[in-house]
Chain A
Amino acid sequence: MPFEILTYSFMHRALISGIAIAILCSVVGLFLVLRRYSLFGDAIAHSSFGGIALGLLAGVYPLWTAYGVSIISALIITKIKDRYNISGDASIAVLLSSGIAAGLVIISFSGGFTIDIFSFLFGSILLVSVDDTILILALTGAILIVILLLYRQILYSTFNEEQAKVSGIPVEKINYLIIFMAGITVVTSIQLVGVLLISALFVIPNVTAIMYGRGFKQTAIISMSFSVFSVVVGILISYIFDITPAGTIVLLSIGLLGITMGIKSAGLLSKN
């Protein structure tokens, strides 16, 4: 009986998209966490809310406008941050609130909240279409290829910008590339956990994996495994018990973090 759910095609789409998003978020998120940009995903997600509202108002597929708005606003805020020397956390706060504010104003123009808005706020992974799934797989593939090709440059400039610059790496360009990829990742992931919980996918599996005290590649693999585990088990549990997938996925990854902290305090992991 429990295996019957694995035969539904909507479940196949949900699991395939979910696994792709889990891998993508943990990889992109690892660089954001190490750059002390943990909340940047959150800020982009909130700004994408403005884009979604714009799409709903204009009658365009909301995720397209969300991609446009969130990538552009992320790049603009990064530029402003560098130009006017605003701290990272303050620039995140500006981006976050301006997205929500714009979204709210646009929504009130279009006659108030609708059911569509809720599915973007909290995710709707069980409703992803075939087209959505193909788009998610394509974007995940493209971003992972870019990261693999520029792996050393991205890692080095994350580790220490100044030294990366001295060795000739175009650090500013790499920074913008990461922001750009983070923008795409966030909007792609909205269907899985919604605007409000995205930063959990970026941050929690990585914070957990870093505690295992391994090298960079192992840390990335541990993070991806935790992320995929939470997403797959979360989707299945939420369907069986008829609860929200987004909340279940995030609680599961928090559970893994809790267990890891327990193992670490018991002295079973190498201390850092």
Chain B
Amino acid sequence: MLNAVEITNLTVKYPDVKALDNVSFVVKEGDFLGIIGPNGAGKSTLFDSMLGLNTKYTGIIKFFDQDIKKSKKYHKEIGYVPQKPVFEKNFPATVSDVVRMGLRNESDENKIDEILQQLWIHELRKRRIGELSGGQLQRVFIAKALVNNPKILILDEPVTGIDQQSIELFYSILRELNSKQKITIIWSSHDLDAVNQLANHVACLNRTLFFHGESKKFFSDDDLVKQYSEASMQEHMHHH
């Protein structure tokens, strides 16, 4: 199996703190990696660096053996779903318009309908983007990320504003994308149970990489889970 992602000694320093300290891991093609970690653990910094939004890092980030600082080709292999899709509330764009923005090859118009159907939002295609619920919006942004047939899907899971039914649907969509369409998924989540059910690999981040390996191994090791939960809890208390 090819390495979809290879991160070596990734360090990001802010003036007063190290956001990421010497993080290294590999994601094989076809993997489903769940990234967990308390608030402020550096998950956003990791994603920003991988996505080319933060270039002030040391270390190497590679997608399919290509260093992202040296080649721009990797953009087309990645679909990204942001945690909070930020846009003007009254932006005059329909669901189709938004998905079309992601489409590189504009002659592939059929692809839009196809992906909307696959994600159960085809009937919303003419609705304005500002009128949708959190769960619907999330699926629209997944559709936009998938419309170019990326090999890797990177998702920053929203913490609030999505109803239970949409969360279930979201999980089943992720499972299908990974198992049937063989898309490599890198998914940051707060829900340990969901990560346990869906991901076959876990990266547990708290500025440094606390654990990385098969999720079976992580979740069957009570000490690890306990340590993680305690670290997470401390961080949580610290934030309050």
Contact = CB atoms under 8 A, between A and B. Distances in A.
Contacts of A210: 90, 92
B92 A152 contact: no
A166 B93 CA distance: 20
B224 interface: no
Given A165-B52, A272-B128, A159 B76 contact: no
Contact of A168 (B75, B92, B98): B75
Interface in B79-98: 80, 82, 85-94, 96-98
B91 A152 contact: no
Interface size class of A (residues with CB under 8 A): 20 to 34
A34 interface: yes
Contacts of B207: none
B159 interface: no
A216 B76 contact: no
A215 B75 contact: no
B103 interface: yes
Contacts of B104: 167
Given A215-B126, A216-B92, A272-B131, A168 B53 contact: no
Given A215-B93, A216-B92, A166 B101 contact: no
B239 interface: no
A44 B98 CA distance: 30
A36 to B, nearest CB: 8
A34 B91 contact: yes
A163 B80 contact: yes
Contact of A215 (B72, B94, B102): B94
A159 B98 contact: yes
A162 interface: yes
B134 interface: no
Interface in A220-272: 270, 272
Contacts of A156: 101-102
Contacts of A155: 93, 97, 101
Contact of B91 (A159, A166, A167, A217): A159
Interface residues of B, number: 32
B190 to A, nearest CB: 21
Contact of B102 (A167, A214, A219): A167
B78 interface: yes
A213 interface: yes
Contacts of A15: none
A166 B94 contact: no
Contact of A162 (B76, B82, B102, B131): B82
Given A168-B72, A272-B128, A152 B90 contact: no
A213 B75 contact: no
A160 interface: yes
A19 to B, nearest CB: 23
Given A213-B128, A272-B130, A272-B131, A159 B100 contact: no
Interface string B128-143: 1011000000000000
A214 B75 contact: no
B80 A34 contact: no
B106 interface: yes
B103 A215 contact: no
B90 A272 contact: yes
Given A210-B90, A272-B90, A215 B96 contact: yes
Nearest to B78: A166
A38 B144 CA distance: 28
B115 to A, nearest CB: 15
A160 B76 contact: no
Interface string B101-118: 111101000000000000
Nearest to B79: A167
Contact of A216 (B51, B52, B87, B97): B97
16 contacts: A152-B103, A160-B85, A162-B82, A165-B53, A166-B78, A166-B80, A167-B80, A168-B75, A209-B92, A214-B92, A215-B94, A216-B94, A217-B97, A218-B92, A272-B89, A272-B131
Q: Sorted from nearest, which 7 A-B pairs have the closest CB atoms? A: A168-B75, A219-B92, A215-B94, A156-B101, A166-B51, A166-B80, A216-B97
